[in-house]
Chains A and B, each alone.
Chain A
Amino acid sequence: MITVAQIINGVVIGSGYALLALGWTILLGAARVVNFAHGQLYMLGAFVTWWVMTQSGAPYWLGLLAALVVMAVIGALMQRILLRMTLEHDLVRIMIVTLGFSYVLTSVATILFGGNAQQVKSPLQGLSVTVGDTLLSYQDILIVVLALVLFLATSLVLRRTRLGRVIRAMAEDPLLAELGGMRPSRIYIGVFAFSAVLAALAGGLLTTRSPVFTTLGGEQVLLTFVIVVLGGVGRVWGNLLAALGVGLFTSIFGALVSPAYTTGVLFLIVLVLFTIRPRGVQLHD
């Protein structure tokens, strides 16, 4: 039987996935960059938060903020390296290079942070409300609320602002955008940094729920891939719904059947979808 606890757990996990998927789908929609190192950015977000807290005794929020800043810089650097390939839509080289990034980031993280699992504590974990007979921590509420706020903000920026119009224009035709005086390189670097910040945010928030290893990242990329395929590339609200769906599925299927088969069954669904309903790559809702 499905319980309230499983549903709440699914919504919280799904909100974390949603944060992870939001940056990935915007990056893929706007710049056609499939970033296989996205999961490593998530892992690094968690580890930088932990490292800053343990090294300096800084509070959780400062550690998280530091992780966001560091990952924005790393994301911008990664896109700078990918720039020529991105402008030329060289998808194969982009995939190979981002796969390379994922291994480099894992190795660097292992050297810097060691091979042990780490977890951080948020001051909001000690505070909770009761839903039915289930305890819901303020940290979990924060994850859900932040996901909703960031999705709403991203959707509004893409739809209602000139920056959003420019990002959508770049997604369609970066060369034509150049003739309007727009500089695709700057937009791409900004979008990649945004994507990295969201991955780090997801890592920094979710590491309060479960420990992270430096080898983490591969499964997060695969889950993000599933969510973006289900929700549609660049489709903000579609991705939120897909992430919540995947979160609920992971929680409920894991509890009722077995967590061991969750990813396999999710990919089976994706295979079926790819077969019966292939989608184009578009950046709109």
Chain B
Amino acid sequence: MTAVISTTGLSVRYGGNVALQPVDLEVPEATLVTVVGANGAGKSTLLGGIAGWSRGRPVFGGKVALRGVDITSKSAPDRARAGVTLVPESHSIFYDLTVAENLGLQRPRRGVEGHVFTLDEVYALFPRLSERPGQRAGSLSGGQRQMLAIGRALLANPQLLMLDEPSIGLAPQVIVEILQVVRGLVDGGMTVLLSEQNVTAVMGVSDELILLERGTVVLRGKPDDVKSDHRLIDAYLGMES
């Protein structure tokens, strides 16, 4: 089966600094693949490289293919229109717009086959958003902002949904709530690539884990297969056990 997204030697550098060593990656249909790693390991850079996007001035190398079609030469807006949707780590919504205006910005991509997400479905997934459509997004809580960002992304009907550290700054209960929603989306057929520092939170929901260290993939596999690997334990899980 063709992967929804695949990278071949995807690398990113800023000037002379290499932020991501060449990465080969495949995200199969309807799976949740999570990239874990410490701050500065290259998680956001990897997701940005797939989206062709960065807030800096990156130089991308390698190739990115969407369902086998090379999209490397496409700009970030064109990749988004093709179905590669990234929710960035910080400032992922428009603060000056209301909740409804943020959601109304997003149009479903053309040629969507099968299920098309509607505003009502987004409100059903995140009822707290439906209670405040006229509220300015900048005045929402951290969890509500994350829900709004994911809701906006869903309305694009992505082929690949990428969430960059959705748990950052959120209360544990909210993290669980959001990850359960994401798992539910994957069970419903969505393909998700997640980046996360909170390894324990994603162990139970991910289909595959990829461990990044200093811009290099050092470990990958199913959570059950890698949870006893000393590199993962040393880096993250050791403190929990």
A positions within 8 Å CB-CB of B: 162, 165-166, 168-169, 171-173, 175-176, 178-183, 282-284
Closest to B106 in A: A180
Given A165-B104, A182-B77, A183-B77: A172 and B109 interface contact (C-beta under 8 Å): no
* Complex CA–CA separation, A209 to B105 (angstroms): 43
Q: Which of B86-110 contact A (CB under 8 A)?
A: 86-88, 91-97, 101, 104-107, 109
Asked whether, in the complex, the Cβ of A179 is within 8 Å of the Cβ of B96, the reply is no
Contacts of A166 in B (CB 8 A): 105
User: Could you say which residues of chain B place their CB within 8 Å of the CB of A183?
Assistant: 77
Interface pair B81/A181, CB less than 8 Å apart: yes
Q: Is B175 an interface residue (CB 8 A)?
A: no
Residue among A171, A176, A284 with the highest chain B CB neighbour number at 10 A: A176
Complex: A180 Cα to B102 Cα, angstroms: 10
B55 x A179 contact (CB < 8 A): no
Interface size class of B (residues with CB under 8 A): 20 to 34
* A162 and B104 contact, Cβ closer than 8 Å, known pairs A176-B92, A179-B86: yes
Chain A residues with CB under 8 Å of B88's CB are 176, 179
CB distance from B117 to the nearest CB of A (A): 14
Q: Is B20 positioned at the interface, with any CB of A under 8 Å from its CB?
A: no
Residues of B within 8 A of A (CB): 51, 53, 55, 75-78, 80-81, 85-88, 91-97, 101, 104-107, 109, 152, 156
Interface residue SS majority, chain A = helix
CB < 8 Å neighbour of B51 from A172, A179, A182, A283? A179
> Which chain A residues lie closer than 8 Å to B92 at the CB level?
176
Q: How far is the CA of A31 from the CA of B64 in the complex (A)?
A: 31
Measured between alpha carbons, how far is A209 from B179 in the docked complex, in Å? 66
Q: Are B96 and A178 in touch, CB under 8 angstroms?
A: no
Cβ-defined contact, B94 with A176, below 8 A: yes
CB <8 Å contact, B97 and A179: no
Other than the given A168-B94, A176-B93, A179-B88, 16 more pairs (CB < 8 A) read A162-B104, A165-B104, A166-B105, A168-B97, A169-B105, A172-B96, A173-B91, A176-B91, A176-B92, A178-B77, A178-B80, A179-B86, A179-B87, A180-B105, A180-B156, A181-B77
In whole angstroms, how far apart are the Cα atoms of A173 and B76 in the complex?
14
Q: Is the CB of B105 within 8 A of A165?
A: yes
Q: Which 7 A-B pairs have the closest CB atoms?
A: A181-B80, A181-B81, A178-B76, A169-B94, A178-B77, A183-B77, A172-B94
Report 16 cross-chain contacts, Cβ distance below 8 Å, ordered by A residue: A162-B104, A165-B105, A168-B96, A169-B97, A172-B95, A172-B96, A176-B91, A176-B92, A178-B76, A178-B77, A179-B51, A179-B76, A179-B86, A181-B107, A181-B109, A181-B156
Beta-carbon contact of A179 and B85 below 8 Å:
yes
Complex contact A165–B76 (CB within 8 A):
no
A263 to B106, CA, bound (A): 45
The minimal Cβ–Cβ distance linking B11 to chain A, given in whole angstroms, is: 21
CA distance A172 to B136 in the complex (A): 13
Docked Cα-Cα span, A282 to B97, in Å, equals: 11
> Contact at A175–B53, with CB atoms within 8 Å?
yes
Shortest CB-to-CB span from A47 to chain B, Å, is 38
